[in-house]
Chain A
Amino acid sequence: MDFKGSDTVPGPRTADHLPHTAQAAVKIVIVGGFGVGKTTMVGSVSEIRPLTTEETMTQAGVGVDDNYGSETKTATTVAMDFGRISITDQLVLYLFGTPGQERFWFLWNGLFEGALGAVVLIDTRRLEVSFDVMGRLEERGVPFVVAVNSFPDGPRYPLEELRAALDLAPNIPIVECDARRRASSRDVLMTLMHFLHSLHTTGALT
Chain B
Amino acid sequence: MTPPRRRRREPRERAAPEPPKPRHGDGADPAQGTTRNPERLYVLTGAVDGERANLDLVTLIVTRGDPPPATSPEQTALLRLCAAPLSVAELSAYLELPFSVVTVLLTELLTAELVQARAPIVRQALPDRSLLEAVMHGLQRL
Contact = CB atoms under 8 A, between A and B. Distances in A.
B34 A77 contact: yes
Contacts, number: 251
Nearest to A122: B3
A41 interface: no
Given A26-B131, A56-B26, A138-B10, A106 B81 contact: no
A165 B3 contact: yes
A20 B62 contact: yes
Nearest to B123: A116
B77 interface: yes
B60 A22 contact: yes
Contacts of A124: 3
B96 to A, nearest CB: 8
Interface in A77-126: 77, 80, 82, 84-88, 91-94, 96, 106-111, 113-117, 124
B84 interface: yes
A193 B60 contact: no
A175 interface: no
Contacts of A85: 138-139, 142
Contacts of A57: 20, 22
Contacts of A194: 136
A88 B138 contact: yes
A190 B141 CA distance: 11
A118 B121 CA distance: 15
B65 interface: no
B2 A25 contact: no
A109 B84 contact: no
Interface string A25-66: 111000000000000000001000001111111110000010
A75 B139 contact: no
A74 B31 contact: yes
A127 B3 contact: yes
17 contacts: A19-B84, A20-B85, A22-B60, A22-B85, A26-B131, A55-B22, A58-B23, A75-B26, A76-B29, A77-B34, A114-B123, A116-B123, A127-B4, A135-B7, A139-B11, A141-B12, A197-B133
Interface of B: 1-12, 19-24, 26-32, 34, 36-37, 40-41, 44, 56-60, 62, 73-74, 76-77, 80-81, 84-87, 89-90, 92-100, 118-124, 126, 128-129, 131-140, 142
